[in-house]
Structure formats: structure tokens, C-alpha cells
Amino acid sequence: MALPTYAGPIERTWYYSFRVICGLIFFFLIAPIVVIVPLSFNAVPFFTFTEAMLSFDPEGYSLKWYREFFASLNWQGAVKNSVIIAFFATILATALGTAAALGLSRPFMPYRTAIMALLISPMVVPLIISAAGMYFFYTKIGLASTHLGIILAHTALGTPFVVITVTATLVGFDQSLTRASASLGADGIRTFFKVTVPLVLPGMISGALFAFITSFDEVVVVLFLAGIEEYTIPRRMFSGIREQISPTILSVATILVVLSIFLLTALELLRRRNERMRGMTPA
């Protein structure tokens, strides 16, 4: 919003000061992420900028760490595990979260607040506590050190995001549409897939993307539950920092940053599409 012409000195000062403060906060948050991008092209195995890099000498830059990432069987195995776990965890979280949100949207749902608090508790409880609890529970039932155990754990962590996004989509949901569908002879299943799902689909996709990112980037639970066969990308990066520091970690981090930017862009496009469908002007 532009500065009004009638603004006084104090208002003008705050107008520009506020933007400077926001810019500094943005720089504080983004700078550590941006720094790793040029470092991932370092020609030498250091985590610092060399003189050749600072002078923009082409000899100081190299793609060998990216080649090492794509050629390493360990890294590719971690990518495979991460994709498989995140894919199935996203499907389960989306299905469970959507069903829960639809149930909570009913006006006659008893104990709605308590159930909602219970569903989003994985977002509130410290992750180390959740990981420790899952470890002791899964050890007793034989799911520790298995892909299924990690998938179920990541499902529990991703479901709250689906519940929140679908619930937000259902705020403007017109229940008369389902009653109209029933009055025209459609059964519950047909009404759900033909009426309800198209209207809540943007929220479902947004929640699914959040659940996928949560699973793909999660490391604490994996450290507790995963065995030697369940190495994911975050766990491989964590182990690499502890055992053998290599700029390959920076190349992987850069790829993950690009992936996150792509997913967040998709989320923003979905948000705008959802607002257009609801007759709102995208901000």
C-alpha cells in the first residue's frame, strides 16, 4: 500500500523504517540458506569461500559434488528411501486428515475442540518426545527399523497439516450442496466424490504437499526408528556432517532448497486458485 499524501513525519518515518526492519528480518532468515548455494559449487572440499571463488575465477567452481551425489549408491539409496517413505506417508496422511476434517466440520460433532487439539498435537509436542515415544511403542510391536514404521510415524506428523488446510477450505463450504445432491438421488459415495471432493481438493493438495515436505525433511524420528536399511536423505546428511564432512552435503541441500521453492510455489498457485473458485481476489 502506498504512503498517503497526508502522512506526517512520524508516519513517513515508520513507513520506511517498517520496510527496512522487514528487509533485515528477511535477510536474517534467508542468508544462511542462500550461502550454501555458491558453496555447493566449490572446486575444493572446503565449506568456505576460496580466493578463486571470491574473485569469480572459473577454476574455483565445479560441479563435481553434484556428480558425486548422482553417482553415489549411498546417496541414491537415501533418495529412494526418502521418496518411497514420503509418498506413502503423504497418501495416508491425506486420507486420514481429510476424513478427520470432514468429520470435524459437522455442526453436531461432539467434543470437536478436544478432538481437534488431539489431532494437531504432533505439531505442538516437541519432536524429540514424539520420536522417543514412537521408538518405545514400535519396538514392542516390531515396527522399529522398518519402512512401515517410519511411514506410519511420518503419517502421524503429516496428518495435522492436512487437517488444518482441509478444515480451512471447509469454512466456506455450503452444506446445502450435499443436501441437494441427496435430494436428486445421489448416494453418499457419489455425493462425496462428485460434490465434496472437488470443493475441498485445493485444501487436500496443499495439505498433501505440506505432509510430503514434512516427511521428506524429517530427521529426528528417522534417527530413532530407522535401521541400517532405512537411510533417508536427512539422515545421510546428518551422518555425513558427523563422520565425514563433504561439500556433497551442500549440493544435496541446494537441491532440497530448489525442491522446497518449487513446492511452495505450487502451494501459492493452489491458494490463488482456491480463492478464485470461492469468488475472492487473490492477495
Task: Output the domain CATH number for residue 113.
Answer: 1.10.3720.10
Question: Looking at the DSSP assignment, which residues form a beta bridge with residue 61?
Answer: 42
Residue 264 falls inside a structural domain: no
Tell me the residue type at 77.
Answer: G
pLDDT < 70: residue spans in the chain:
1-5, 7, 172-174, 243-244, 274-275, 277-283
**pLDDT given for residue 280 in this prediction:** 55
The C-alpha atoms of residue 98 and residue 225 are separated, in whole angstroms, by 27
Q: What angle (nearest 5°) sits at the alpha carbon of residue 150, between those of residues 145 and 151?
A: 140
User: Does 41 map to a domain?
Assistant: no
| d(C-alpha 175, C-alpha 156), whole Å | 29
Whether residue 83 is contained in a domain is answered as: yes
Q: Check residue 106 and report its DSSP letter.
A: S
* CA–CA dist 77, 196 (Å, integer): 39
Distance CA 44, CA 49 (A): 10
Kindly report the pTM of this predicted structure. 0.81
State the first-to-last Cα distance of the chain, in angstroms, to the nearest integer: 12
The pLDDT assigned to 204 comes to 87
Query: Cβ atoms within 10 A of the Cβ of 44, count?
Result: 11
The predicted pLDDT at position 272 comes to 76
Q: Is residue 278 part of a domain?
A: no
In a domain, 281, yes or no: no
Give me the pLDDT at residue 112, please. 81
**pLDDT confidence of residue 152:** 93
What is residue 2's predicted lDDT score, i.e. its pLDDT? Answer: 65
Residue with cell 551425489: 69
232 part of a folded domain? yes
Collapsing DSSP to helix, strand or coil, 61 comes out as: strand
Residue 210: domain span:
73-245
Q: Is residue 43 part of a domain?
A: no
pLDDT at residue 24, rounded to an integer: 93
- pLDDT of res. 243: 67
Residue 9 lies in a domain: no
Phi, psi of 187 (to 5 degrees): -80, 180
* Cell digits of residue 234: 536427512
Give the chain's domain count: 1
